[in-house]
Amino acid sequence: MEASQAALVELAEKIEQLAQFQDKIEFPAGIPRIWEAFLRDARRLIEIESGALFTVDESTQEFVLTQAAPESQQPAFQKELDAQIEVGTFSVILKRRQPSITPSLAFRKELSVVMLPLATVKRTLGMVMVLTPFQESMVTHENMRLLSVLTRQCSLVMENSILYEKLRRDKESLERANEKILYLSQRDALTGCFNRGYMNDQLPREIRRALRYRRALSLALCDLDHFKTINDSFGHQCGDRVLTLFVESLNELIRTDSDWLARFGGEEFLLVLPE
């Protein structure tokens, strides 16, 4: 009786330690760090010769080989995945969402493959494959229960990491989109210089700044003479090219850190020269 109680206490302690898996990983953590921590804990439960992590690609929903230890075993693990899919074992284990041990189909005959589905209530994240010696006594029912606990904890950490990475990408995409919208809202579509809307907003600020600090401010209104003749004689595409070259020429002459050029309208431009 005492031996049974001691075994139960030991099992409970192991489960509690595995349940603290996420506390061992500093958030946010990438997939390689999560995989490394998972493999380290799994090796404390069963003998592992090598292992691989397959994750679900969000766009194709296919299982992609993401990590392997050692890396040289990547081709063999890919063959193992393909073989397990072909015989139907992979889909059964994935549907059950429970760890399972099965004979290896691509590695040596004396090795077994332990497949550990990574899944949460909402989604399937991937599959872990680890190679262990074939002897059934090496992987007990208790080991499989503990691996199940570890796998669930790893799945939660991995899901949080994936969600964090997605939010970060979405935030960066939104920031880039906002920057582009702001740029386009302030720029003339043809020449790339500032447009009249920017001029109407920024010019009063330049004037107030010059008055407040009693500093010089020069404004130059530039007009291209006989521009209508260019359009009539050579076409509007040629006229557009003239405007673009004119703006490029002016931008090479003015100071990029303080001066700015705005298209006032048509072939008229305003050159703002502080100081």
Q: Give 77-97 pLDDT, tens digit per residue.
A: 999 999 999 999 999 998 888
Q: Can you give the pLDDT at residue 129?
A: 94
- What amino acid occupies position 274? P
Residue in the structure block whose two tokens are 């996420």: 22
Average pLDDT over residues 147-170: 86
- Distance between CA 266 and CA 42 in Å, rounded? 71
Of residues 138 and 168, more confidently modeled = 168
Of residues 76 and 256, more confidently modeled = 76
What are the φ and ψ backbone dihedral angles of 117, each rounded to 5 degrees?
A: -70, 130
Of residues 194 and 140, more confidently modeled = 194
pLDDT category, 118, cuts 50, 70, 90? very high
Contact call for residues 94 and 130 (beta carbons, < 8 A): no
Average pLDDT over residues 216-220: 94
- Residue 9 scores a pLDDT above 50: no
Q: Can you give the pLDDT at residue 216?
A: 94
Contact call for residues 102 and 112 (beta carbons, < 8 A): yes
pTM over 0.95: no
Q: Which residues are catalytic?
A: 267
Q: How do strand 217-223 and strand 268-274 relate by DSSP bridges?
A: antiparallel
Task: Please state which of the ranges 25-29, 45-49, 180-184, 271-275 shows the lowest mean pLDDT.
Answer: 25-29
